[in-house]
Amino acid sequence: MSDSLISRIDALRQQRQAVILAHNYTVGEVQDVADFVGDSLELARRAATVEAAVIVFCGVYFMAETAKILNPKSMVLMPDTNAGCPMADMATAEAVRAKKAEHPGCAVVCYVNTTAAVKAESDICCTSGNAPAIVRSLPKDRPILFVPDRNLGSWTAEQTGRELILWDGYCPTHERILPMLVKEARRQHPQALVVAHPECPPAVRELADHLASTAGILAFCRQTDHDQFIIATEEGLLHRLRLENPGKTFYPANARMTCPNMKRASLEKILWCLEDLRGQVEVDPATAERARQAIQRMFLVVP
């Protein structure tokens, strides 16, 4: 059945002049059929430059919004538009405006895990791969409001030595990665390195041998000579880690590292949206223009 689905997807992909972009956290069969798989920063860059009539975005809604903002001429489709992000929902444009009023003159750094409306209220975006570099690029005498992930924000503060005003948001999937479970995984696999995402709570980050974005985790595990790893991030990354490193062994930090929204995309839904052009993502042009400025400022900062 999968082979038949893939053949039909491939035919429609060519007919629609479409590209399929997928996040590292989607299910393995979706990653395998995608033209490009990456983290938020990689996908944003690819969406900005890809030349396609149709972009099928397999991830969560804010990511598809970002693709539409960066490539307004392309039709952006989601296999399932109900794939939201609880952390993104923890910050609204109205609440960000209120917080800015409490801290006049502050610079708003917003994680890409936010809605287009929140990006439009921000000075610059960041990802887990470049948050420290983004914060370092801002004037040292200017207060910084970091929205919405308190865990990524606290890690960024540790990395930069900057005092940040942290929004009280978090990723429910990473919050479920508990220190006691990481310790148990290490007890069971004492030769394995613990590699964690900075969205994890501080107590988990303290147990890690290495912290990085999903792209950083992939690079670290690929480049090191070590051959056993305990991975503390959404379990979808294990598919790509195992695919790229057949001689190495990867263990999940616990059995509850699944984001249900990231799993909503499937081969069937990709086929349906290509057949009917269903699941179109649109962003208000005025909001998109302001949000685009915050995203593009991020691209100007290395890395």
Band of residue 143 on the pLDDT scale cut at 50, 70, 90: very high
Taking a C-beta distance cutoff of 8 angstroms, is the pair 45, 59 a contact? Answer: no
Q: Give the pLDDT confidence of 145-183 residue by residue, as tens digits.
A: 999 999 999 999 999 999 999 999 999 999 999 999 999
193-196 vs 210-211, strand pairing mode: parallel
Asked whether residue 302 carries a pLDDT value surpassing 80, the answer given is no
- Domains 2-84+262-282 and 87-170+289-299 alike in fold: yes
> Which CATH code is given to the segment(s) 173-252?
3.40.50.10800
Instruction: Please tell me which residue, 302 or 108, carries the higher pLDDT value.
Output: 108
| Domain spans in the chain, listed from the N-terminal domain onward | 2-84+262-282, 87-170+289-299, 173-252
- Taking each continuous run of H as one helix and of E as one strand, the counts in the chain are 16, 12
What residues have CB less than 8 Å from 263, skipping those under 6 apart?
Answer: 26, 27, 236
Task: Judge whether residue 1 has pLDDT over 90.
Answer: no
pTM: 0.95
pLDDT tier for residue 72 given thresholds of 50, 70 and 90 = very high
For residue 195, give the 3-state DSSP assignment: strand
Phi/psi for 278 (5° steps) reads -85, 160
Is residue 224 within 8 A of residue 247, CB to CB? The reply is no
Cβ-contact 235, 257 below 8 angstroms: yes
First to last CA, the chain: 42
CATH number for the domain formed by residue range(s) 87-170+289-299:
3.40.50.10800
The structure tokens listed for 143 are: 């207060």
What is the spatial order of strands in the sheet that 107-111 belongs to? Answer: 124-126, 107-111, 144-147, 164-166
d(C-alpha 183, C-alpha 193), whole Å? 12
pLDDT single digits (tens) 24-56: 999 999 999 999 999 988 999 999 999 999 999
CATH of domain 2-84+262-282: 3.40.50.10800
